Amino acid sequence: MLMSEEDIKRFLPHREPFLFVDGVIEIGPGERILAFKRFRPEEEFFKGHFPGNPVVPGVIIVEALAQAGGILAYVTDPEGIKGKGPALIGLENVKFRKFVLPGSELKLDVKVLKRRDRVWRIKGEAYVEGVKVAEAEILASLL
């Protein structure tokens, strides 16, 4: 593993229970990141989504992709991002293909599509056991 959760906390402002990247497997600054999140059965949101049939909310999957993209941005341009926070400004082509269940490990594959000034467009794909479960194009800006 390239980065542990403690390493990730140096790059992202998020903390539990809203930190959705557990580790980074591979990173190519300015190009791509491969990270993961393990959804433990005791995660708080499973209590209400849905009782008796828990699944990871789609918005959390998209947030995990966005957080992985944030790590990629910080590693790519640490000086340009220093003191600035990422802000989600748009989502496009979001698709949820399969449910993600408690105990699943989500692989997060995020690529930079375009970068202009402070705006980043990334494409994220989420997989469980090699099967694509979600994808999204994410627009983020540095404030």
pLDDT in tens, 13-66: 899 999 999 999 999 999 999 999 999 999 999 999 999 999 999 999 999 999
**b (16+ CB within 10 A) / e for 62-90:** bbbbbbbbbbbbbbbbeeebeeeebeeee
**Residue 116 CA to its chain's centroid (Å):** 21
Pick the residue with more confidence: 110 or 13? 110
Q: What is the pLDDT of residue 8?
A: 94
Domain 5-142 has CATH 3.10.129.10: yes
Q: What is the pLDDT of residue 132?
A: 98
Neighbour tally for 54: CB within 10 Å: 20
Task: Give me the residue spans of the domains in the chain.
Answer: 5-142
36: enclosing H helix or E strand? strand 32-38
Catalytic residues: 49
Q: What is the pLDDT of residues 52-103, one digit of tens each?
A: 999 999 999 999 999 999 999 999 988 877 777 778 999 999 999 999 999 9
Is residue 21 within 8 A of residue 35, CB to CB? The reply is: yes
- The pLDDT of residue 117 is above 90: no
Q: What is the pLDDT of residue 142?
A: 81
